[in-house]
Amino acid sequence: MSPSSEDRIVTSSHQTFSPTPSQSKALHAVPEQACTALIPEASDVLQATLLDRDHSILAFNERVFDWAVRADVPLLERVRFLTIVSSNLDEFFEVRAAPHLAAARSGETKGPCTQASFEALSAKAHDLVARQYALYNDDLVPALDAHGIRIISHGRRTPAQRRWVREYFRREVRPLLIPVGLDPAHPFPQVANKSLNFIVRLKGGDAFGRENEIAIVKIPRALPRLIRMPAAVAAKGAQCVSLSSVVRAHLEDLFPERQVTEFSQFRVTRHSDLAVDEEDVRNLRTALRQGLQQRHYGEAVRLEVSAGCSDFLSDFLRAQFNLPAPALYRVHGPVNLVRLGQLIDLADAPNLLFKPSPPCWPQQMQQGGSILAQLRKGDVLIHQPFESFDGVLAFLREAVNDPHVLAIKQTIYRTGADPQMLDLLREAVRRGKEVLAVVELKARFDEEANINWAEALESVGAQVVYGVVGLKTHAKMLLVTRREGRVLRRYGHLSTGNYNPRTARLYTDLSYLTADEDTTADMDNVFNHLASQNRLPRMRRLLVAPFHLHRRTLEKIEQVGLAAAQGKDARIVAKMNALTDEALVRALLLAGQRGARIDLIVRGACILPAQVPGVSDNIRVRSIIGRFLEHSRVFYFRAGEQEELYLSSADWMNRNMLRRVEVSWPVTDPVLRQRIVDECLVAYLCDDRDAWNLQPDGVYARSSPDGSGTGVQNALMHRYARSTAAGGMK
């Protein structure tokens, strides 16, 4: 299954790149010792020590952080990667930190969450945060300054700039601030999750002669965190001021006749995983709306303050939020690096960004022609973001406008703010078509957007359901039913990623369009199951979680292992976002010990220890971190003469297998299967620039420390650009 000469990948230097013969045959290669390998006892595998999931998540963010460090990355893109790491850390604390914090408070010494685990994770997080701010202050700020992009502190402002900032504060900021002096009648105010605040220590009496020395100033989210000054006071480059420095410079204006002796900005991160007892609510949507209001005020898990914050103020805040010392983070800069992303737009410097790489029109699709007619001839694959998500929108648009289309069914998980798909579904209702939308209200941090989608669709008469109680509907499916003569024919779209036009330009995903009768019948059965909650009938093609995807995946891994033990070709190549399901990990370890050769391309968390002598000698794990977020899930199994390739919406995580509705589907078209193997597996195994390899000690090592070599994402961008220029891949 080596790539054909027509499908070679082009590198960023425009030289031709293809896997070597040994690499291209890797999908079939079996180590010689596999022929005589002894089948290990299952107990030997169970004794293997797995890697810690939370440490693996932090390690992933260290790999992302490397892109902020790399000098070959455009400057503003380095800033963007710095903000991505900060955003990821926010989510880590919001979702993963609370159990470890609770264990630390109780002195727990046994189990997955202990006082020791809290301290170890805190040390790792503190180190990463320290490196972030060191990079920001010592590298990025001077580099931005050299390009005329500056965030000017109060001490560096000219008299004219100070006058402008004072007027801005008086006009835009001061009317929205309500400083709260603390006393028995004014308790510590509710501070929202991740909001910007100031704590101030005052000297002198208040209006009533009392010495209440602590005050809190909450900064409204409506105010921009960075403000670009006008050319009249900042003639050269993009000169900005931060909102925190604007407030800091005028704190005394908030407390007339009193002296500000100490102050610090601060930000608290709270546990934000919504917990709704679905068995005990009558209306899930209403319950979630109420839960969203409370999310901003969950249990505090992290406190960030300025590096110069006094012990008196930081101890006061820690006591208010009931946090131990390791949960305090002193930062040398803004307490929220995520908001630095605004600088990218304010700078207006396209030369400091990645060179635009617009996606091409899906090369299997004839632009302007009928997509449904094409699907009657064969399946279509769209490789995003190298090919445009517009092909999916065109499929839906044709269905909406086709008078012979009777029904449209779609799952909605993360759609973003782009209204195109919502508008198309509403138009379908207006045209008299039956529209079923399975809206997942519990998509983490997208709950409110999905509630709005549900209400908008219901308002025009669409049938909206929320999946199955206790399970998240994570499957990505769109099904069209059309009358063709005396029969009804179905057309389906399955995807590894979301129906989100924005992230479709930023994430690598595979969209699969088909009119295959077995596949679309299975899709229809899944939709009917989600709506009616009737028992799911026997599937012909799809593997569906939580019913049989987990079991069937374990069976496939075992088949490969047994083939290896019998001296047959035995190969697994799996690409996913995370590998944390213990049963699947143990099955992979057993298959590897039986002699199967296994390559795992895992973007984020991975608990499988790779290349450990006597445990996982035949298993390699690598992570690709590139310009785009790796998001596609591809699973290849070879057991002797049996060869299968599956795409899926599911990662190999326990939640995906047992607590979500997911689908996995086989790719049977030999041309499309070969294309996926070449572009999503072989090419990724050959990346020697953006890949990180998991070492036996559990640490990831970059495949190319000096940044040389070929990056698979750049290679694919050039391949598609060249193919488009040459008239497309036919």
CA 272/CA 302 separation, integer angstroms: 12
Strand 487-495, strand 477-484: pairing? antiparallel
CA 196/CA 217 separation, integer angstroms: 9
Residues 381 and 255 in one domain: no
Known binding residue 631? Answer is yes
What confidence score (pLDDT) does residue 295 get? 55
What confidence score (pLDDT) does residue 9 get? 32
3-state DSSP assignment of residue 92? helix
Is 62 among the domain residues? no
213: Cβ contacts below 8 Å, ≥ 6 apart: 201, 202, 203
Amino acid at 15: Q
Residues 541 and 666 sit within 8 Å (Cβ to Cβ): yes
CA 66/CA 700 separation, integer angstroms: 12
What confidence score (pLDDT) does residue 3 get? 39
Amino acid at 713: Q
Is 360 among the domain residues? no
Amino acid at 681: L
Domain that includes residue 413, residue range: 371-541
What confidence score (pLDDT) does residue 64 get? 97
Is 135 among the domain residues? yes
C-alpha dihedral sign at 574, 577, 583, 588:
positive
> 256 is written with which tokens?
């007339």
Is 59 among the domain residues? no
> 349 is written with which tokens?
């410097």
- Out of 321, 352, 383, pick the residue that ends a domain: 352
Known binding residue 512? Answer is no
Residues 318 and 446 in one domain: no
Is 70 among the domain residues? no
CA 411/CA 584 separation, integer angstroms: 27
Which CATH number covers residue 629? 3.30.870.10
Known binding residue 136? Answer is no
What confidence score (pLDDT) does residue 473 get? 86
* Burial class of residue 294 (count of CB atoms within 10 Å of its CB; 0-12, 13-18, 19+): exposed
- Per DSSP, which regions of 152-237 are E strands? 180-181, 197-203, 214-218, 226-228
Is 359 among the domain residues? no
What confidence score (pLDDT) does residue 209 get? 65
What confidence score (pLDDT) does residue 17 get? 35
* Beta-bridge partner residues of 489: 482
What confidence score (pLDDT) does residue 444 get? 53
Is 157 among the domain residues? yes
Residues 535 and 552 in one domain: no
CA 130/CA 127 separation, integer angstroms: 5
- Out of 289, 322, 352, pick the residue that ends a domain: 352
Residues 328 and 303 sit within 8 Å (Cβ to Cβ): yes
Residues involved in catalysis: 474
Residues 649 and 493 sit within 8 Å (Cβ to Cβ): no
CA 182/CA 147 separation, integer angstroms: 44
Known binding residue 329? Answer is no
Residues 491 and 595 in one domain: no
3-state DSSP assignment of residue 472? strand
- Out of 511, 541, 571, pick the residue that ends a domain: 541
State the number of CA atoms in the 13 A half-sphere of 178 facing the CB. Answer: 6
Residues 145 and 31 in one domain: no
Known binding residue 14? Answer is no
Sheet holding 238-242, edge to edge: 149-151, 238-242, 226-228
Strand 597-602, strand 570-576: pairing? parallel
pLDDT in tens, 202-211: 987 776 667 7
The enclosing H or E element of 146 equals helix 141-146
Residue numbers of the chain with a pLDDT score lower than 50: 1-40, 276-282, 288, 292, 443, 728-730
Known binding residue 654? Answer is no
Residues 277 and 423 in one domain: no
Which CATH number covers residue 159? 3.30.1840.10
Residues 490 and 613 in one domain: no
Count of domains observed in the chain: 3
Residues 512 and 531 in one domain: yes
pLDDT in tens, 202-235: 987 776 667 778 999 999 999 999 999 999 998 7
Residues 535 and 563 in one domain: no
Taking phi over 0 as left and psi of -120 to 50 as alpha, with beta for the rest, 348 belongs to left
Residues 565 and 475 in one domain: no
Residues 532 and 552 in one domain: no
Residues 130 and 279 in one domain: yes
Is 61 among the domain residues? no
